[in-house]
Structure 1
Amino acid sequence: MKTVIALTLALVLAAQAVDDWHKKVQSQRVRGSKYTIHENYNPVTIENDLCIIHLDAEVRGEGIATLRLPSRSQAEMTFAGHKATIAGWGETSDNDTIMNTVLRYTDVMTIMKNDDCRRYYELITATMLCANSPDGSGVCMGDSGSPLTITESDGVKTQVGISSFSPSVGCETLRPDGYVRLTEYLDWVEKWAEVDIRP
């Protein structure tokens, strides 16, 4: 585990657009002076590509909520075939030159079997998952760290992945995107985020 003290790390909560967060009554800006990087993160193989930001203060308010994490009973699920949603502030095309300031999402992603994803990326391991969309929508530069969610039978969104990488040849190539598979890290998340994982 590597805990780092950040010089400046600001998070904007409950804002649809980063630029006008100060105009929204419910929007909040909070500092995070520490973050914990997974101790086995490998930037070459992109394994264990997750980090927890520790906020300096607890935040609550309108428009602020947590995403449900996978349960321990889902640890062996691959989620292959599930429809998923990805959200982020990244670029919307390969031609973009600046980051997006408006939160965008697409909900036409389908989670793939890892064997199918290995046809595109040899580096795929059991700690990763892939998702793609028939229209090419998905993550792009600047979306790393964004949540990949499914909607369960009770209607609640559950985060099953964290955006890790998009195709090196461009995000409009119809190739799948790569994600951290959260079910492989439930113990780690429970320990360092100090949250309880559902049975």
Structure 2
Amino acid sequence: MYRFKGYDIALIELEPNLDLDGNPNISAICLGMEEDIPFGGQAVLTGFGDLMFNTTLPPVDVLQELAVEVINQQECDPVQEMPDPDIFVCSFTPAKDFCQGDSGGPLVAKRCDGRWTQVGIISYGPTCATFELPSVYTRVPRFIDWIIGKVGENACQ
């Protein structure tokens, strides 16, 4: 496992490697570039986490998907007081959010060419689906060189 300490990002090497050519339903995601982050627009998060904050509901066994509004750093940083705002990206959609168990999941955006690109990694937020505070994601484009250095390529190139 490779991790970039302090920024909620890690890569896990699988043995054996996945055969991405053997299944048409599986493919590598494009690594998002800075211009792929849809500030003022929507991105999609997915996860198997809780559906409500601090509950004893049974675990979710169906992958959940949710569109959220991506906000700019000026809207997010004064509220969340991020240690390094250039390393994070935020979303804020009242009453829509990730929850416990979703951490490490993807935040993806659709590019103009129709391909999906991963622009964030679920990191932290206030609780689940609040009306007051944005949620924070590790900003994938800031780690492109590190990822490619470990993986060897970007799926979009």
**Shared fold, TM over 0.5:** yes
2:27 corresponds to: 65
Please give the alpha-carbon distance, in whole angstroms, between the structure 2 residues aligned to 1:143 and 1:132. 16
1:164 corresponds to: 123
1:37 corresponds to: 3
1:183 corresponds to: 141
Structure 1: 5+ residue runs without aligned partners?
1-34, 43-47
Shift of 1:62: 4.0
Shift of 1:85: 0.3
Over the matched positions of the two proteins, sequence identity in percent amounts to 27
One-letter amino acid of the structure 2 residue matched with residue 36 of structure 1: Y
1:96-107 maps to which residues of 2 (within 5 A)?
96-97=55-56, 98-107=58-67
SS across alignment from 2:28: coil
Larger RCO: Structure 1 or Structure 2 (Cα < 8 Å, ≥ 6 residues apart)? 2
1:44-193 maps to which residues of 2 (within 5 A)?
48-60=7-19, 61-70=23-32, 74-75=33-34, 79-97=38-56, 98-107=58-67, 109-123=68-82, 125-134=85-94, 136-167=95-126, 170-174=127-131, 175-193=133-151
Structure 2: 5+ residue runs without aligned partners?
none
TM-score, structure 1 normalization: 0.69
Shift of 1:198: 5.4
SS across alignment from 1:63: coil
Distance of aligned partners of 1:196 and 1:118 in 2 relative to their CA distance in 1, 3 Å threshold: closer
One-letter amino acid of the structure 2 residue matched with residue 173 of structure 1: T
TM-score, structure 2 normalization: 0.86
* Residues 61-70 or 157-166, more deviating: 61-70
Could you give the per-residue CA deviations for residues 23-58 of structure 1, whole angstroms, max 9, x where no partner exists? xxxxxxxxxxxx1111xx23xxxxx21000111112
Aligned CA-pair RMSD: 2.0
> Rg larger in 1 or in 2?
1
SS across alignment from 1:118: helix
